[in-house]
A and B are shown apart, each in its own frame.
Chain A
Amino acid sequence: MDSQSDPVGNHLHASPATPTRGQAPEVDRARYRSRRMEGRLACLLLTVLGSAQEPAFGSVDAVPAPAESIQLGTDLRLELVGGDVLVVRGAERLTVARTAPTGCVHAITRDENGTVFAGAENGLFVLDDRHLVLDPADVRDGVPPGAIRGVFADGKGRLWLCTDTAFAAMDVSFCFGRTFGAVDGVPAPPFRGVCDGGSGRVLLSTAAGVFAYTPDRGECPRARGGVVREELVASTTGTAAVRLGVDALGGATLRQRRRHHHLLEPLNGDTLRGLQPGTHVVEVHAVDRDLRRQLVAEYTVQVPLPLMLAPRVLPAVAAAAALLLFVLAFRTFDPRASLSRRIASSAGRAALLGVVALQLLAACLGYGRAWPFIGFSMYTETYRENSVLYRPHIVALRADGSRCPIDEAGVLQDGSWQMLAETLHGGDRACCEFLDHLDRCCVPGEAPFAGFLVGDGRIRLTADGPVDVAPTILVRWLR
C-alpha cells in the first residue's frame, strides 16, 4: 500500500503512486484523488474485515494501577500525589521545580534511559535524576496536543499516551508520534489513561471500559521491491519528487533524513523538501503505527544552484561586468599615458572595484560557499523567553556502571551531528565502530567503556536565567 502522511503525522492510507514527471498536473491530481478514495475505502474494508478476525484493541477486565512512584536513585524518589509531583529524598519531600506551569499532573512514567515523562494538564513534561525540574518535553508532529490523561513508556523507545480524544505513540528519541485513528480500530473516546498491560500490551482506559492493544504485530515496514536507491535532480527550490510503494502496519508515514543530519523530518506528500544547492544523500524511512522504522529509500539528490549563481551564468555575468568596468576605466584614464600603463592601470581599477562590489553583493546574497565572497547569516537566529537550546553530548558508559562525559572525542567537525548522526542511524555496526573510537579516549587503568550515550542536552532560557533540563537521549548503546 502506498502511504502518505498528513501534517500531524496521521497516516493516509493507500495514496496513489506518485505521478511521474512530465504528466499533466490536472490529470495527475484527478487520478490522485480517485486512487486515494479507492485506497481509503479498500483500507477501511480491510481494517473492518481484519478487526473481525483479530481486533487491534481487545476489551480487558483487570486494570493495573498506573505508576504513582518512581525510584530514581538509592535515596531519591518521585511521587505523584494529588496531581503534584514530589521529590522525596530521605525524609525530605519537596514539590518538584518547574520551568513552566504544568497544571494537574495525571501520570508519570520512566523510560529505559531514565527520563521521566509526566502527562499533565498543560501537556507532556520531562525530568531526570540529574535535572529535577519539570520542563515541557519536545514534541514534534504526530503527537496530539492538549492535556495528557495517561502516559506509559514501554521500554522500547516508545511512549504511549492519550488525551481526552486521542491515543498516540511517540518516539522518545526523535519526539515525533503517530495518533491512532478510527481506521486503526481505536475505541471511542473519551480516554481516561494509559498503562502497562504486561506481556508487551498497552492498556487504554476509556469511559466504556479498558482495552488492550498489542503493538509490533506483523512485519516491520518495508519497501515493495527492496530499498530504493536512485539519483534525482531536484528543482532549484530544493524539492524533488519521489515515488515509493511501502507496506506497513496501519499504513506508513514517511520521514526524510539528510545524511549527516540526525533529525527525521516528515515527508509531506511525495516530495523531498528543504534541500540546499549541492549534492545530498537523503534517506527515506517508513514508520508504521507502532513507530517501527525502516529505511525504504536512499536518494542521491543533486540540487542545482539558482540560475543567477549557476557556474556558467555568474562567471559570464561577472566577466561582462569586469569588461565593462575595464572599458570605463580605460576610457577615463589619462590619454597621454602609454598604452601598456593605461591597460594595466585600468585592469587594476576594474579588479579593485569588482572585488569590493562582489564583497558587497555577497554580503547581501548571503551565499556562504562563494568564499572569500561570503554573506553574513551567522548568529542571526533569535531566541526568546522559554526558548530551548540544544547541545549534543556524548557520555561513555563504563563496565562498572559509571559514566564518563566525553568532550568531542575527536568526532566533531563543523557541527556535532555531521559525524554523530551516522552513529545514531547506522545501527549496531556504526555504534560498535563509534565505541571503538571512544575507546581511544579511555584512560588506562580505569574501567573500560561498555557503551555510550548520545544525548541532545537542553537548556531552557527563563526570566530567572538559563536552566539545564533533562536532555533528549538519542541513542544508548551497550556492547
Chain B
Amino acid sequence: MSFAPASAWRRFDAWFHAPVPVERLGAFRALVCAVALYDVLLWAGVVLTDAANVSAGTQGRPWAPLYLFQVLGVGPIGVDAARALLAVAILSLVCGALGIASRLSCAVGAIAFYAWTCFGYSFGKPHHDKVALAFALAALPFARVGAAVSLDAVLRRWLRRRRGVPQPEQQLTSGMPIVLTQVTLAIGYCGAGLSKVILGGPEWFNGYTLQGIMLGHDAVWSRAFAQSAFWCQMQSIGVVFVQAAFPLVFVWPRTRWFFLPAALAFHLMTWKTMDTGPFMRVWLMLFAFVPMERIPAALQGWLTGGVVRAAITVLATAGGVALVGAIASEVMPAWLLLATAAWLLFTFVRHVVHARADTGVGGDVIVAEKRPAPLRRLRAE
C-alpha cells in the first residue's frame, strides 16, 4: 500500500477524532439528548394519531415509507406499539441527557429516535430540521460521552474518592460526534445555498422569488418583509451567501463570530417570514461549534468586563434562554424547563465560585482553534 492513503487516513482520523475536553463532549451529549427528547415529544401527537388511525383502520395520512423502512420492510404500527416506542425513547433520552449509562442510553435513544422519526415522516414528508440532530445522536454511543457532565461521572468520582484514588486532572477524548455534527451542518447549509444557485439560477436572486416564497408561506412578518422586491433581492443575496459560505467556519474559525449568529438570525427570520417553524433543532446544534466548557468562564469575563458588555451579555443570555424555554414549553413541562435553567445557573455560579482567579476569556469562546490546537493549548496550560 502506498504512503498517500495511509497519510490521508491519518489526517482523516486527526480531523474527526481531534481531542476535546470531556466536559465539552459531555455537555454536547446532554444537549443532543435534550433536543432529541424535545423532538420526540413534539412529534408524539402526529405519530400517535397516525398509529391510532392504523389501529382503527381509518383513512389518515397516506403511508409512503422512507427508504430505510422500504429496505427493512417496516410497515405502519398501531397505537400500542407506538406508545411503547415513545416510552422507550423518552426513558432512554432522559437517561442520555442525565448521563445514566450514557453510551447505552444514547444508543437505545438513537434507535428509538430514528424509528419515531421514520414513522412520522413515512406518513408525510421528510424535513431537514433534524438531520444534524440525527447524525449527532447516532454518533454519541461511539465516543466517551459519559466521561463528564453525567451522573456516570459523578458516580465514578465518588467511587474514586471512596477508594482514595486521585481524580484525573484534565481529560481529553475524541470529539468525533461534535465534528460529525459540524460537518453535517456545514453540508446542510452549503447544500441548501448551492441548490438555490444551481437549481434556481440567477432568477432566484430577482427579489420576486424570495417575495413569493415568503408570501407563499404566510407568517406574521411575511407582508412586512416582502413588500419590496429590491429589499427581497438584497435578502436573497445575504441568505445564499450565509448558507453557501458556511463551510468557511472550518478554514477560518474566526468567521464563526459571523456565521453562527447569522445562521441563528436566518432561522429566526425564516420562522417569522416563511412559517418554517422555529428550527430550534438545527440552531441548537450550532453549539457543536462552541467550546461549551468555556462558556461559564466567558460569561464571567463578559459580565465583569464593563457595563455595556455586561448588559449585552445579560440581555443576550436571558433572551436566548427565554427563547429556547418558550419554544420548548410547547411540549415540555414547565418544571423540567425551570429545573434545567436552575441547573445551568448553578453550574455558572459554581464555576464563578471555584474559579475566581479566572479572568475574561470571553473573546475566545466561540472560535475553535485550528485542529488539533486544543490538545496543544491544554498541554501548555
Which A residues lie at the B interface, using CB under 8 A?
259-260, 278-279, 305, 309, 311, 315, 328-329, 331-333, 345, 348-349, 352-353, 355-356, 359-360, 363, 366-372, 374-385, 387, 389-391, 413-415, 418, 459, 461, 463, 465-466
B187, A387: Cβ atoms under 8 Å? Answer: no
A359-B184, A371-B131 known; A461 vs B212 contact (CB < 8 Å): yes
A380-B204, A382-B200 known; A356 vs B209 contact (CB < 8 Å): no
Of the candidates B67, B117, B195, B204, which one forms a contact with A382 in the assembled complex, judged by CB atoms under 8 Å apart?
B204
Contact of B335 with A by CB under 8 A: no
A391, B212: Cβ atoms under 8 Å? Answer: no
Q: List 27 A-B contacts (CB under 8 A).
A: A315-B71, A328-B5, A332-B5, A332-B6, A355-B180, A356-B183, A359-B187, A369-B67, A371-B67, A372-B135, A374-B131, A376-B128, A376-B194, A377-B199, A380-B199, A380-B204, A381-B212, A382-B209, A383-B209, A384-B209, A385-B208, A385-B229, A389-B212, A391-B216, A461-B208, A463-B229, A466-B223
Q: Which residue of B lies closest to A360 (CB)?
A: B187
Contacts of B61 in A (CB 8 A): 413, 418
Bound-complex Cα distance A318 to B5 (A): 21
A349, B212: Cβ atoms under 8 Å? Answer: no
B195, A376: Cβ atoms under 8 Å? Answer: yes
Contact of B250 with A by CB under 8 A: no
Report which residue of A278, A315, A383 has the largest number of chain B beta carbons within 10 angstroms of its beta carbon: A383
Q: Which residue of A lies closest to B239 (CB)?
A: A379
Contact of B95 with A by CB under 8 A: no
Bound-complex Cα distance A379 to B65 (A): 23
Interface segment out of the listed B9-17, B25-33, B155-163: B9-17
Q: Is the interface of B mostly helix, strand, loop or mixed?
A: helix
Contacts of A461 in B (CB 8 A): 208, 211-212, 215, 229
State the Cβ distance, B327 to closest chain A Cβ, in Å: 19
Bound-complex Cα distance A437 to B12 (A): 57
Interface positions of B from 128 to 183, Cβ below 8 Å from A: 128, 130-131, 134-135, 142, 176, 180, 183
Contact of B64 with A by CB under 8 A: yes
Q: Which residue of A lies closest to B16 (CB)?
A: A352
Interface positions of B from 9 to 68, Cβ below 8 Å from A: 9, 12-13, 16, 61-62, 64-68
Bound-complex Cα distance A305 to B67 (A): 10
Contacts of B377 in A (CB 8 A): none
Contact of B228 with A by CB under 8 A: yes
Bound-complex Cα distance A381 to B200 (A): 6
State the Cβ distance, A201 to closest chain B Cβ, in Å: 42
Of the candidates B118, B121, B226, B274, which one forms a contact with A466 in the assembled complex, judged by CB atoms under 8 Å apart?
B226
Contact of B125 with A by CB under 8 A: yes
Contact with A along B180-215 (1 / 0, CB 8 A): 100110011001101110011101101011011101
Q: Which residue of B lies closest to A367 (CB)?
A: B67
Contacts of B176 in A (CB 8 A): 352
Report which residue of A328, A348, A372 has the largest number of chain B beta carbons within 10 angstroms of its beta carbon: A372
B196, A379: Cβ atoms under 8 Å? Answer: yes
Contacts of B5 in A (CB 8 A): 328, 332
A348-B142, A379-B213 known; A391 vs B218 contact (CB < 8 Å): yes
Bound-complex Cα distance A333 to B199 (A): 41
A363, B212: Cβ atoms under 8 Å? Answer: no
Contact of B317 with A by CB under 8 A: no
B191, A363: Cβ atoms under 8 Å? Answer: yes
Report which residue of A370, A461, A465 has the largest number of chain B beta carbons within 10 angstroms of its beta carbon: A461
Bound-complex Cα distance A281 to B176 (A): 45
Contact of B320 with A by CB under 8 A: no
Contact with A along B214-252 (1 / 0, CB 8 A): 011010000100111100000000000000000000000
A352-B180, A463-B229 known; A363 vs B208 contact (CB < 8 Å): no
